[in-house]
Amino acid sequence: MNAVLQGTGYNGWVLPVLLALPLLGAVTVAVQGIGARGQDALVQMQQARRTALLFFVAEAVLSLGLWWSVDVNNLAWQGLVDLPWIPQWGIRFTVGLDGIALMLVLLTTLLMPLAVLGSWTSIRERTHSYYALLLILTTGMLGVFMALDLVLFYVMWEVMLVPMYLIIGVWGGQRRLYASLKFFLYTMVGSLLMLVAIVWLGLLAGESTGAPTFSYDAILQMSRTTQVTGAFWLFGAFALAFAVKVPMWPFHTWLPDAHVEAPTAGSVILAAIMLKMGTFGFVRFAVPLFPEVAMHPTVRAVILALAVIGIVYGALVALVQPDVKKLVAYSSVSHLGFVMLGIFAMTVEAMQGALMVTISHGISTGALFLLIGMLYERRHTRQLADFGGIAKVMPVFAVMLTIVALSSIGVPGTNGFVSEFLVLLGSFTTQPVHAVIAATSVIFAAAYLLWAVQRVIYNPLTKLENQALKGFDLNWREIGLITPLLIGILWLGVYPKPVLQKTEAAAARLVRAVDVAVSNARRVGGQP
């Protein structure tokens, strides 16, 4: 069969439309930019941001139907679209969803309108180019979560790279060129190794038919039924690419620079969505395709050790940061270490906890970067020493920052508590030592975030620049874009059941498949 569209009605067409709509928006914004040359700069800015927001809102509304239409308990891919692309090379346009990908797609589509609103007044130059790049970036991110052909996955993985490189390099801070180049080089090196592994797998999978195939299902079936030649090195290539994107310690050094220099929307997208692609890569590709290698005692021990080091290291380094944006960047290293711990603990509870941390971190850290951006627009500094007493002049900002900080710490009643508790609970059954060490970072998280909040909003109001903020509290636009994130924080903290139900079946299938593969390998005496 040359073409497959699984499902009828909404599920039969929505995924390709979700990928195409941002590209259409990018073209529209770019054409508007060409036609707007010579117009007043304010008119150009308003035109670009309104058009981009319209497309992002349409994308978000369109994607919401997936929450109800995707049957997460069905073993088959949902909304599957399988079309010829480059048939002579065995490359197809194949996209589909399961419960894990569903949540990350919704996280992306619902956060992007907020990222646009967060850039509403801060981006004043080359606005059409900026918003066009955001739209192209969205297609790349969604494509990574949907792709079921390894070449398509790689193309979407690389589509993300150039827009973010330009967003940091053109609209970033003083050291933007250094940060953007570092981000590009780190990501590109890992990606090239992954491309070699993808080509190798495609050739191996096509040996029986005489033509290469890059179908995810075909390669997955091959990995379960035959001993894949060079599995250790192939896993290493995928793992390195994903470890850089997570980022795991010691591959994390590009992240603080990128966060500090990126514009507000760039930081939000990096933290809330793009970092999740590294952990998603492990869940979708590295672990399922090479379960015996991933669960080999030595390999597993190394990855778990790096995860725990990242958890503690990120928290300790965040504790001494003078720049509030860099502090949040290092906190991301710590939080995503929890995700890696949950994945490689390989229990259903830990896996679900890892997915919950992924979603919760996206919401909480996205909100933190948006709030930091709002404060930076007013004070033009991110140094903790420059603040103090902000609660007296910006009480609404202070309340929102406190709630978001508490969620990032993991206070009960917020999303952070549920997700980290699940990871620690699930990890303790198989990795008790790692779980106990990771639990200590909760103390460090409370230390660095509470201390930062104290220095920003609760210390004495002694600086004239901060006193001048009286009357410049958050406006209705800013309150409106933070409020949905606060609702998400409290909803997932009080009633996480709907999200857990969406991811439970996919997490259980992955854990069961890995357990079966490892048991079979041990029974026949195979070694990866």
Between the alpha carbon of residue 397 and those of residues 97, 394, 471, 509, the distances in Å are: 38, 5, 12, 43
Residues 6+ apart with CB under 8 A from 96: 6, 15, 77, 78, 79, 80, 81, 146, 148
72 lies in some domain: no
- Write phi, then psi, for 183 (nearest 5 degrees): -60, -45
Structure token pair of residue 472 = 């410049």
360 lies in some domain: yes
- Write phi, then psi, for 119 (nearest 5 degrees): -100, 10
pLDDT per position as a tens digit, 141-157: 999 999 999 999 999 99
486 lies in some domain: yes
Q: Which domain holds residue 390?
A: 295-528
Structure token pair of residue 411 = 């206070």
Would you state the pLDDT for residue 525?
Answer: 56
The total of structural domains in the chain comes to 1
In DSSP notation, 111-176 reads HHHHHHHHTTTT--SSHHHHHHHHHHHHHHHHHHHHB-BHHHHHHHHHHHHHHHHHHHHHHS-TTH
Would you state the pLDDT for residue 489?
Answer: 93
According to DSSP, the residues that pair with 91 across neighbouring strands are 86
What ranges in 270-411 are assigned the alpha helix state H? Answer: 276-281, 287-289, 291-294, 297-319, 324-345, 348-379, 390-393, 395-409
Residue 92's H or E segment, with its range, is strand 91-97
- Write phi, then psi, for 438 (nearest 5 degrees): -65, -35
154 lies in some domain: no
49 lies in some domain: no
Would you state the pLDDT for residue 527?
Answer: 47
Closest to 420 in 3D by CA, of 365, 495, 353, 364: 353
Greatest C-alpha distance within the chain: 75
* Model pTM score: 0.90
492 lies in some domain: yes
Scanning the structure block, which residue is given the tokens 């609760």? 458
253 lies in some domain: no
347 lies in some domain: yes
pLDDT per position as a tens digit, 481-506: 899 999 999 999 999 988 888 888 88
Distance (Å, whole) CA 264 – CA 171: 10
pLDDT tens, per residue, the chain with 528 residues: 465 555 545 666 889 999 999 999 999 988 887 766 666 667 777 888 889 999 999 999 999 999 988 888 888 888 888 888 888 888 899 999 988 899 999 999 999 999 888 888 877 788 888 899 999 999 999 999 999 999 999 999 988 888 998 999 888 888 888 888 888 888 888 889 899 999 998 888 877 667 788 889 888 888 877 777 788 899 999 999 999 888 888 888 888 888 888 888 888 888 888 888 889 999 999 899 988 888 888 988 999 999 999 999 988 898 888 888 889 888 888 888 889 999 998 888 898 999 999 999 889 999 999 999 888 888 888 888 888 888 888 999 999 999 999 998 888 889 988 888 899 998 888 888 888 988 887 888 888 888 888 888 888 888 888 888 887 888 888 899 899 999 999 999 999 988 888 888 888 888 888 888 777 767 665 444
The neighbour count for residue 276, using CB atoms within 10 Å, is 27
